[in-house]
Chains A and B, each alone.
Chain A
Amino acid sequence: MEYVLKTENITKVYGQHKVVNRVSMHVKKGAIYGFIGKNGAGKTTFMRMVAGLAAPTEGTMELFGSTELEKQRKRIGTLIENPGVYANMTARENLEVIRKNFGITEKQAVDDMLEFVGLSDTNKKKVKNFSMGMKQRLGIAISLFCNPDFLILDEPINGLDPEGIKEIRELLLKLNREKGITILISSHILGELSKIATHYGIIREGVLVEEFPASDLEDRCRRCHKLIVDNTELAANILENKLHINNFDVPKQGVIRVFDHFETMEQINREFILNGVNIKESYLSGQDLEGYFMELLGGGVND
């Protein structure tokens, strides 16, 4: 498997507080990795470490399969926290600074990029007079300017109106599909994230609690009869051989999820008890996307 980003137990400690705690993240080439967590969960700190803006206290990292991070970071475009812009310059001047810093000889590249992000008509307007959405677009333009292979975007749709959000979503999908750019994106707008993400990582209090592909999401949110039992093997055996139910899974030891057979809940409970399986909990489960993420995050998404 080819990974663009692979971290191993990355940790960041500020004083006594572990902001990022042993995060091992795996971002596959070509993926759009949705990074989800509450405010203060450690998303931005983690992204800053990947981008080389902060040094990890512990842990290792590979970018594009290499540990030569400084060299590989040339291939990364970032928009972390606020866009890094000079407020007293115009959008064109800001991009001109980037063009000169990276020795890009084609002057046309600035105009092309302004056109690409829809800022070509800002003319002499200073960035300090831009709306939040325009600043975000400029930030995206800066992150894309050096033709990156990997984009790290921290809340890129913050402050955008619905039309702007749609445009950014379409832009990211275009970059991913047409140019094959891998994207690591954090957002609080879960519904929006779910429209583009191919993989998810959930961070809670600095710990990466889950990493899974988007294809698993439907399954994870699926309505089911959830049973917490003391003997998983025996319970599975009863379901298969006595009740002839095959549509179930065991996500972890002690937990059984039975799909579809909701009318047989009573029968399943009875058979388990008669055959010596103790049931600690038995309930109908199933959530929408937001509800599922909230459960993983341990409360409100952005409280």
Chain B
Amino acid sequence: MINLFSGELYKLQKSKSIYICCITMIAFVLLLYGAFATAEKIQQGELENGSYGFEVDAEANHGGNSVWEEVSMLEVVQTMFVGIGGIISAIFISIFVFGEYANGAVKNVTGKGYSRWKIFSIKYIATILAALLMLIIMIVAVLIAEILFVGTGRFNSELFSNLVSYASMQLLLATAFGGIVIVINQFCRNLGAGIAISVCLIMFSTIITAGLDIALRYFELDIKASDYWIVDLINNCPLNEIDSAYATRAIISSIIWIIVTFIIGNVHFQKTDIK
């Protein structure tokens, strides 16, 4: 299994997509901070309103407060996790998983002394680890951008404590979501379809769970689908002081989704014909 893992790491190292996805995430972080910094300069009168295409709404601006007082670093991290971070990591996972099937490279290890269980398990672990690494790089990028644009003035122990707990929870949820994306791509074996379904899950699945919640309430059932769906849990993760009820639901749901996707993916890979 170590050999297979070593092979996966080498493929990751040589994979352009991981570098492109990381650079894209960093670029989005810088873009976000750049936008806030421009808005701050407009607000402070250093730039005219409308500079670089930025319009600052005077009414929305709470009495001329600094933008940096309105937007915390944690909120930037949240914006990245809930939006672009999920989409980019889903795209990366789709590319990496599909890469094995695109030219049939998976057949070079299948039936060569390694059980299919081992092959799938290593692929699953390596893909998830790479996706998590990208999200960690995204957090580091936010920290660096914070220093570059704002300085270290807002850093304190409370911020780091909240950042660690928020990021840990999001990484756990991202692991579960990564598992779902892997299984989707395993079934599709089509890059376009894999990416489209994964991105649609991020963008629209919460509408479905909201509908399910209404249906469950209609039948007077004391349960909410959105409480256990990973994308809802990612979107609703509290920034400060994660309450125990949410933490319990998020941890249990993540573990269940990880186990379920791991088993489904494995069973599918066992039975499928490799072309």
- A96 and B113 within 8 A (CB): no
- B103 and A51 within 8 A (CB): no
Which chain A residues (75-115) contact chain B, with CB distance < 8 Å?
Answer: 76, 78, 80-89, 93, 96-98, 100-103
Contact with B along A50-93 (1 / 0, CB 8 A): 01111100000000000000110110101011111111110001
Bound complex: CA A93 to CA B110 (Å): 19
Kindly specify which of B8-16, B124-132, B157-165 makes contact with the partner chain: B8-16
Give chain B nearest CB distance to A104 CB in angstroms: 9
- B112 and A54 within 8 A (CB): no
Q: What residues of chain B lie closer than 8 Å to A51, measured between beta carbons?
A: 107, 111
Q: Does B274 contact A (CB under 8 A)?
A: yes
Bound complex: CA A83 to CA B112 (Å): 16
> Which residue of A is nearest B115, CB measured?
A70
Bound complex: CA A74 to CA B108 (Å): 11
> Which residue of A is nearest B107, CB measured?
A84
Q: Does B3 contact A (CB under 8 A)?
A: yes
A residues at B contact (CB < 8 Å)? 48, 51-55, 70-71, 73-74, 76, 78, 80-89, 93, 96-98, 100-103, 142, 146
Q: Does B211 contact A (CB under 8 A)?
A: no
- B273 and A101 within 8 A (CB): no
- A97 and B107 within 8 A (CB): no
Contacts known (A84-B105, A84-B106, A97-B10); A53 close to B112, Cβ less than 8 A: no
- A82 and B104 within 8 A (CB): yes
Q: What residues of chain B lie closer than 8 Å to A86, measured between beta carbons?
A: 11, 14, 99, 103, 105
- A53 and B3 within 8 A (CB): no
Q: What residues of chain A lie closer than 8 Å to B151, measured between beta carbons?
A: none
Q: What residues of chain B lie closer than 8 Å to A100, measured between beta carbons?
A: 3, 6-7, 10
- A93 and B14 within 8 A (CB): yes
Q: Give the interface centre of B7, B16, B108, B271 by most chain A CB atoms within 10 Å.
A: B108
- A85 and B103 within 8 A (CB): yes
Sampled A-B contacts (21; CB under 8 Å): A48-B275, A53-B110, A55-B271, A73-B111, A74-B112, A76-B112, A81-B104, A84-B105, A84-B106, A84-B107, A84-B108, A86-B103, A86-B105, A87-B102, A88-B14, A93-B14, A97-B105, A98-B7, A101-B6, A101-B109, A102-B112
- B113 and A70 within 8 A (CB): yes
Q: Does B136 contact A (CB under 8 A)?
A: no
Q: What residues of chain A lie closer than 8 Å to B106, measured between beta carbons?
A: 84
Contacts known (A52-B111, A54-B273); A101 close to B4, Cβ less than 8 A: yes
Bound complex: CA A66 to CA B106 (Å): 25
- A81 and B112 within 8 A (CB): no
Bound complex: CA A78 to CA B106 (Å): 12
Give chain B nearest CB distance to A253 CB in angstroms: 41
- B103 and A83 within 8 A (CB): yes
Bound complex: CA A88 to CA B16 (Å): 8
- B115 and A81 within 8 A (CB): no
CB-contact partner of A101 in B15, B103, B108, B275, under 8 A = B108
- B273 and A53 within 8 A (CB): yes
